[in-house]
Amino acid sequence: MNLKGILAISGYQGLFKMISQAKNAIIVESLIDKKRMPAYTTSKISSLEDIAIFTSDEDLPLLKVFQKIYEHLNKGEAISHKSSGNELKKFFTEILPEYDKERVYVSDIKKVIQWYNLLLSEEMIDLEEDEKDIEENAEGEVKTDDQPKEKSQEEEEAKDSEEKPDEKSE
């Protein structure tokens, strides 16, 4: 699951995917109805990857909250964001018992649940994909910056050795 490029825009319902950048705005596409529109610099735009939930220890990134919901519900859909405040608090306490009950309001819980259900319906939440990425990083299958540098140094040495015989023959 990657939240990069997924945006919440104040005053608009749902989430948006960033498509491109214009001179004084960004072009976004609604995940609900797939309509595109400009989001101007005067709009309050928040990237989901920058949002975190207050907990008693430290702030928990939204991605980790979504992962906890996903695991708790066995890849299923969460309760409706239109449920009563008490039901939403009870559900959120089951998922994240350490959340700060004084600083996280019911409106915040509603947004998190609505966003989770929207991302799940758009098949943008896939915990198995994240596990594969973690396994690949642990096994060292992903290329690092050092590998291309070593290869380019070897190529330079090969070029140098090829050039030296040519210089001697002249």
Q: Which of 51, 49, 67, 68 is nearest to 59 (CA)?
A: 51
Q: Which of 52, 54, 170 is nearest to 102 (CA)?
A: 54
Give the C-alpha separation, 18 to 37, whole Å.
10
Find all residues with CB under 8 Å of 12, minimum gap 6, and list them.
Answer: 30
Q: Of 59-68, 121-130, 136-145, give the lowest mean pLDDT range.
A: 136-145
Is residue 39 pLDDT above 50, yes or no?
yes
Could you list the beta-strand ranges (E) of the chain: 6-9, 16-21, 25-30, 36-40, 45-47, 52-53, 60-61
Q: Which of 13, 109, 3 is nearest to 54 (CA)?
A: 109
pTM check: above 0.85: no
Helix, strand, or coil here: 112? helix
* Contact (CB, 8 A) for 116 and 75: no
Give the C-alpha separation, 92 to 151, whole Å.
50
**Phi, psi for residue 13 in degrees, rounded to 5:** -80, 145
pLDDT of residue 41: 86
Query: Span 34-49, mean pLDDT?
Result: 92
Q: Give strand pairing partners of 37.
A: 28
CA angle 115, 120, 125 (to 5 degrees): 100
pLDDT in tens, 79-110: 888 889 899 999 999 999 999 999 999 999 99
Pairing of strands 16-21, 25-30: antiparallel
* Contact (CB, 8 A) for 130 and 1: yes
pLDDT of residue 76: 82
